[in-house]
Structure 1
Amino acid sequence: MHIQANILVDIRHLTSLIAFFCLWSVAPASVAQATAQPETYRFDLGAGIGMSGYLGDANESNLLSHPGFAANASFRYLLNTRFAIRGLVNVASLSGSTADMENALPGGAVYDFSSTLCDIQARGEFNLFNYGTGEPYKQLKRLSPYLALGVGVSTASSDGSTFTAMTIPMAFGVKYKVRPRLNLSLEFAMTKVIGDHADGASLSDLYLIKSSFIKNTDWYSTLLLSVSYEFGERCIECHRLD
Structure 2
Amino acid sequence: MRKRIRLILGIMMGLILTATAQDYKYEAGGGLGIGFYMGDANQSALFHKPGAAFAALLRRTINYRWAIKFDLATAHIKGDTRDFDTRFPGGDFNFSRQLIDLGAQAEFNFFHYGIGYSYLGTKRFSPYLLLGIGFTWVPKKDDGYFNVNIPLGFGLKYKVAPRWNIGLEFSVRKTLGDKLDGWRLSDPVGIDSSAFKNTDWYSLTMFSVTYDFGRKRAICNNDM
Name the TM-score, length of structure 2 as normaliser: 0.88
Give the aligned residue type for 2:167: S
Pairs aligned (count): 214
Which of 210, 217, 221 lines up with 1:235 in the alignment?
217
Q: 1:235 aligns to what SS in structure 2?
A: coil
| Partner amino acid, structure 2, of 1:151 | I
Aligned-pair CA distance for 1:216: 2.5
Which residue in 2 is equivalent to 1:33? Answer: 14
Q: How far has the Cα of 1:101 moved from its partner?
A: 2.2
Contact 2:51 2:77 in 1 (8 A): yes
Q: Which of residues 70, 94, 118 is equivalent to 2:53?
A: 70
Choose the corresponding residue for 2:34, options 51, 57, 82: 51
Q: Higher strand proportion, which one?
A: 2
Give RMSD over aligned pairs: 2.3
Task: Give the deviation of 1:117 after TM superposition.
Answer: 0.7
Q: Which runs of 5+ in 2 are unaligned?
A: none
Q: Which of 114, 117, 140 is 1:132 aligned to?
A: 114
TM norm structure 1 = 0.81
Q: Secondary structure at the match of 1:178?
A: strand
User: Which one has the largest radius of gyration?
Assistant: 1
Deviations 1:136-189 (CA, angstroms, capped at 9, x unpaired): 101111111011100011112456421110000002000110001000000000
Aligned to 2:72: 89
Structure having the larger proportion of residues in helix: 1
Query: Any stretches of 5+ residues in structure 1 without a counterpart?
Result: 1-18
Q: CA deviation at 1:57?
A: 1.0
Per the alignment, in what secondary structure is the counterpart of residue 137 of structure 1? helix
Counterpart secondary structure, 2:123? coil
Distance between the aligned counterparts of 1:154 and 1:73, measured in 2?
A: 15
Give the AA of the match of 2:67.
A
SS at structure 2 position matched to 1:228: strand
